[in-house]
């Protein structure tokens, strides 16, 4: 009788194919991932190509300058706060007139801050003006027609 213990070969896990597969997956992910920086996003705003400008009989025109000053129907507003702007909009739209027929046209400078335009929209909401539109310039292509 043979009482010696048999030497068992313990199975080995070969790591080299495992590492090869992982490297292929990492290389695939690196090549298929696109990296974009949102700080470098270029935005080109659209230009309106209109044939005829609309004529609103009951319109209030608010102009926003590049430095944040406002004018309503060519009258410069003193102050840049929302309360001053809402009061001026209420003065331009007396309570006796129907606010539903009034159209607020925002004519903002191209370099005016977004916050300045939002401030006009919020003041219009407070003044009860719900119809808002934006003034644009005609593009060079449409002006040649």
Domain ranges of the chain: 59-136
pLDDT digits (tens, 9 = 90+) for 80-137: 888 889 888 888 876 545 666 788 888 888 888 889 889 999 998 888 888 888 887 6
Query: CA gyration radius for the chain?
Result: 33
| Stated pTM of the model | 0.56
* Helix pair 114-127, 82-92: axis angle to 10 deg: 50
> Residue 106 pairs with which residues in a beta bridge?
62, 134
138 DSSP assignment: B
Task: Give the C-alpha separation, 58 to 47, whole Å.
Answer: 25
Q: Sorting pLDDT into bands at 50, 70 and 90, what band is 26?
A: very high
The string of DSSP letters for 4-56 reads: PPPPPPPP---HHHHHHHHHHHHHHHHHH-----GGG-------B--SS----
Mean pLDDT over residues 18-38, rounded?
Answer: 83
Instruction: Quote the tokens at residue 11.
Output: 């199975």
Q: Each residue of 40-57: pLDDT tens digit?
A: 444 444 455 655 555 556
The torsion angles phi and psi of 63, rounded to 5 degrees, stand at: -100, 135
Q: Return the CATH fold of 59-136.
A: Nucleotidyltransferase; domain 5 (3.30.420)
What is the reported pLDDT for 30? 86
Task: Tell me: pLDDT of 144 over 60.
Answer: no
Give the mean model confidence (pLDDT) for residues 59-82. Answer: 85
Is residue 117 exposed (0-12), middle (13-18) or buried (19+ Cβ within 10 Å)? middle
């Amino acid at each position: 009788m043979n009482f010696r213990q048999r030497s068992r070969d313990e199975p080995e896990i070969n790591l080299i194919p495992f590492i090869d597969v992982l490297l292929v997956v990492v290389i695939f992910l690196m090549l298929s991932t696109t990296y974009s920086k949102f700080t470098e996003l270029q935005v080109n705003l659209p230009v309106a190509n209109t044939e005829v400008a609309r004529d609103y009989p009951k319109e209030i025109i608010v102009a926003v300058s590049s430095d944040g000053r406002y004018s309503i129907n060519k009258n410069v507003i003193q102050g840049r706060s929302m309360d001053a702007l809402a009061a001026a909009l209420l003065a331009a739209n007396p309570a006796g007139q129907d606010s539903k027929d009034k159209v607020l046209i925002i004519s903002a400078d191209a370099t005016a801050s977004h916050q300045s335009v939002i401030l006009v929209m919020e003041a219009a909401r407070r003044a009860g003006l719900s119809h808002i539109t934006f003034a644009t310039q005609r593009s060079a292509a449409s002006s040649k027609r």
